[in-house]
Chain A
Amino acid sequence: MSQFFNYAVPGVPFGCVFALMSVGLVLTYKASGVFNLAFGAQAFVSALAYVSLVQDGWPRWAATVIAVAVIGPVVGIVLDRLLFRRIRTASPLVKLVPSLGLLVALPQVALIIAGSTPTIPPPAIVGDAQRVYLHVGSVPISGLELSISVSTVVVVSVLVALFRFTPVGLEMRAVVESPRMTELAGINAGRVSAFAWILSSMMAALAGVLLSPLYSQLDPQNFTVLLVWGVAGAVIGRFSSLPLALLGGLGLGVAQQVVAGYLPAGVIANGLRPSLPFVVLLVFLPLARQRQVADPLAGCDPPSSAVERGTTGYRSASTLATSEGSVHTVGLWHQRLEARPRGRMTGLLARRPTATFSWVAAVVAVASALTWVPPDWLLTMNQGVAFAVIFLSLTLLTGMSGQISLCQATFAGLGGFMAGQLANHFGLPVVLGMVAGGLLAGALGVLVAVPTLRLAGLPLALATLAFALLADNILFPNSWIGNGASGVTVPRPSAGPVSFAAAKPFFVLSLGVLAVAAGIVKLVGDGTLGRYLSAVRGSELAANSVGIDVYRLRVLVFALSAALAGVGGALFGSLEGSLSANDFGYQISAVLLVVVAIVGLGSITGAVVAGVVYTTLQVAVTSLPARFAGLVAVLFGLATLSYTRHPEGFLDVLSGRVQSVVAERRARRLEGGPTGSGPRPALPGVGATKDADPVAEGAG
């Protein structure tokens, strides 16, 4: 027992920090409907401000006040105003993508503003961090641990008092129950929700400031880990109970120390501790879902806008009829088949200008790659092709089926490792290894899908995030899988006499893989399966009620998508020659999802463009001076902001513009036919004699 105590007590400060995150997450989720994953980044921003100020000679209390009471809430309010307020009732994907994007972009932006990373080890907010102030039992309590625990207790007490005894607390509880009901009672729900944002942002800020001294260096990574623990705590609180979230966070902090204490040191123990959130999420997420209470006024909702409906999915080509309506569907189906664009180039351009443009661009790109492009460009292009395969797996999963996965990079990594290991240990040809890697990733996809796919939307996304974390900590370090930091070599394949070792043949092979992957995605999307998926996306309830086995459909698509990601990962590994856990860490999954969502989940072209964009950005980050590399992060952040206006992706916005321009031109040309434009009305004061316009003369 005393042993347990000795392990548990040092866990309390961690628990306090986790609890602050959990409570903040639940508070904003309930008050504004957004599960704000950017909290991790907000915590980092405040911690950075705090440490920078202290380094500049500010007293620690003043730095704390500035970081927690000024910077924290300001960032929160700005995000709320710019972003989260607009997506309150949007689809889970539209809500999740911006917060993920900010989680990645915000720390980079803050580092640019700060100018440099502070070099001093982060100090505790009060007292001497190392000095032992008191003992609990036989456990010494340092100033750091004391300051964390005391400030958490103070903050929580203030919060409880606020909720219990003040009018704004009562209003906040009401908004949490139903924003619209509250508005009907004459309370400005927006103002109350803004207040909740201030409160929770301050908690994130405080969590960041308190956490930072626990590590020797400020690193955004640590704050993402903090976020994951906070998420687990929020899930224990079933997304709705502040006290339960508090206890959950606290309990997790203690539990992770106890687990680490009892288990023998080694890979498993080291891996098990960070994987605890996965276990928690898996156990508690199903409970959380049942507890979600619908807004009592939900039935009175006005029709939602396009953004809110989340019409962001894959557009199946199988839609039977045209917008003009139809007389006979059978006839229409055949018409559609015959009307496939095989006509003259001009007609094709007029009908589908953007598709034509994409094809031309693709042909030019491939032709250039195989002729004059320098080797390093070719490498980048090839990386783009490999990532396009991975992005296609998201087009299938998220675009068509509406499921959100934050572990696609994990599947890609597993596929790549499998291909490499099979080649190295058993001499399996790499091409077969790629297939095997895809199959393994698909099988693992089934394993992940079966317990988690009863969930949808946000809970599913969180469960997949937790799985990615588990894989990062337990699977990837294993010498039979990812082989830790040293990684796995993945040779270039050869098929009989044909070797794909050189750059150009490998590029051709990659294109072949991409074509097959795109073909599969297209076949699924445009066939009966795609129609089922589109139905499920529209209404799961109704899809079930017409006889679609939604669960099985989801598992199938999840597995297929995981397999595609696995193949893409193997292709990438073979291209690079080796693969390590860092290539496909859990943060990568988040970035991948954000990138493809911004570019467009609605088409295969979207995935290909996303591949190009992603690898180009990577090159930009590594080859430009550090200052400009930060700009890429800023751009990324801005794109994230614009995503809430155009959840269909910029590709669609672009092609929509082009199409409307073309349509307008055609309309004008039709108008301006032989019987068209009459005499131009003469402007008063401008004599007709002066006019040398041939059109006017001809017509007049």
Chain B
Amino acid sequence: MTAPALLVATGITKQFGGILALDHVSLDVAAGEAVGVVGPNGAGKTTLFNCLFGLDDPDEGSVVFDGRSIDRLPVWKRSRLGIGRTFQRMELFEGMTVADHLLVAEQAASGTFRIWRDLLHRGGPTPAELHHVEEVLGLLGLVELAGRPVDTLDLGHGRLVELGRAMMGRPRLLMLDEPSSGLDAEDTSRLARILGETRRSTGVAVVLVEHDLALVEATVDRLYVLNFGKVLASGGVDEVLADPEVRRAYLGTTA
């Protein structure tokens, strides 16, 4: 591997009651690299995401981001370090507009609570912040919808807003949890295109959990296959998908 490792997770183990959701899962992502995580439902993909992002505490294992252990950091600190994330079940700020979604993420990522500044000059966003909002709106093709409350958007655009919000803090790693779920073919191909443009223009690394293999193949450089909480296979996309064991567990034996 040429690029330095950005995210290194080692031996992540998580148990829920009697179910071993993750069993010593290790995963690494190099800077700028796109990595896919696939596997049947219940394989532990979202749990792995939650452990990496700090929403769940793993029972064992450690996560290192950019050479620094982040095991003890809460979610918001991981976010500020440069990890952006989207959710399988969309989590939008209901009632807020598209532009406000991006703005709030931009301001939150820029660091401190500026309580006194906010109180004194009404906390108007700075031109720099607004320009970044516009830039991302343009990248995602959301300019026309900037003023729309998110409640009025369709699912495809909602997912783009989530993506945009995750990108506002100029993350070095984007974690996308099934961004195509619920989207039709057209929306999915638009998402793939935008994801590609985003990676080219920002050089952000991506971890993608996804069922849509077309989107996976279009996006990622390397693939991990999870099954029953274990890494079944990992490596180049074609090579992994050709693995007979992977085919049996994930794609079905008939193929």
Contacts and interface: CB of A to CB of B under 8 A. Distances in A.
Contact of A531 (B85, B107, B131): B107
B91 A542 contact: yes
Contacts of A529: 113, 115, 118, 123
B58 interface: no
A552 B99 CA distance: 25
Given A542-B165, A544-B76, A548-B76, A520 B119 contact: yes
A293 to B, nearest CB: 11
Contact of A330 (B75, B100, B131): B131
Interface string B72-110: 001111011000110101011111110111011101110
A325 B147 CA distance: 4
B144 interface: yes
Contact of A527 (B91, B99, B119, B162): B119
A272 B116 CA distance: 41
Contact of B146 (A321, A520, A543): A321
A329 B168 contact: no
A435 B118 CA distance: 22
Contacts of B94: 309, 311, 538-539
B252 interface: no
B95 A322 contact: no
B92 A542 contact: yes
Given A329-B133, A520-B119, A547 B93 contact: no
B43 interface: no
B119 A321 contact: no
Nearest to A533: B104
B93 A542 contact: yes
B24 to A, nearest CB: 25
B159 to A, nearest CB: 13
A519 B166 CA distance: 33
Nearest to A527: B123
Contact of A320 (B92, B97, B105, B131): B97
Given A325-B148, A549-B76, A543 B122 contact: no
Interface string A160-171: 000000000000
Interface residues of A, number: 48
Interface string A499-542: 00000000000000000000010011011111110110111011
Given A330-B130, A535-B93, A538-B95, A545 B79 contact: yes
A541 B104 contact: no
Given A531-B100, A547-B79, A330 B134 contact: yes
B7 interface: no
B193 interface: no
A319 B107 contact: no
A532 B108 contact: yes
Given A534-B96, A538-B95, A545 B75 contact: yes
Contacts of B134: 328-330
From A299, A329, A529, A556, residue with most partner B Cβ within 10 Å: A329
Contacts of B76: 544-550
Interface of B: 53, 55, 74-77, 79-80, 84-85, 87, 89, 91-97, 99-101, 103-105, 107-109, 113-115, 118-119, 122-125, 127, 130-131, 133-134, 137, 143-149, 151, 162, 165-166, 168-169
Given A309-B95, A548-B104, 13 more contacts: A319-B97, A324-B147, A325-B146, A326-B146, A330-B127, A333-B125, A528-B107, A531-B123, A538-B92, A538-B96, A545-B79, A546-B169, A547-B80
Interface of A: 299, 309, 311, 313, 318-330, 332-333, 337, 520, 523-524, 526-532, 534-535, 537-539, 541-550, 552-553, 556
Give 9 closest A-B pairs by Cβ, nearest first. A527-B123, A321-B147, A538-B93, A528-B123, A542-B91, A527-B118, A546-B105, A547-B79, A547-B108
26 contacts: A319-B97, A320-B146, A320-B147, A321-B99, A323-B147, A329-B99, A330-B131, A330-B134, A524-B119, A526-B123, A529-B113, A531-B104, A534-B96, A535-B93, A535-B96, A537-B95, A538-B93, A538-B96, A541-B87, A545-B75, A545-B76, A545-B91, A546-B104, A546-B105, A547-B108, A548-B76
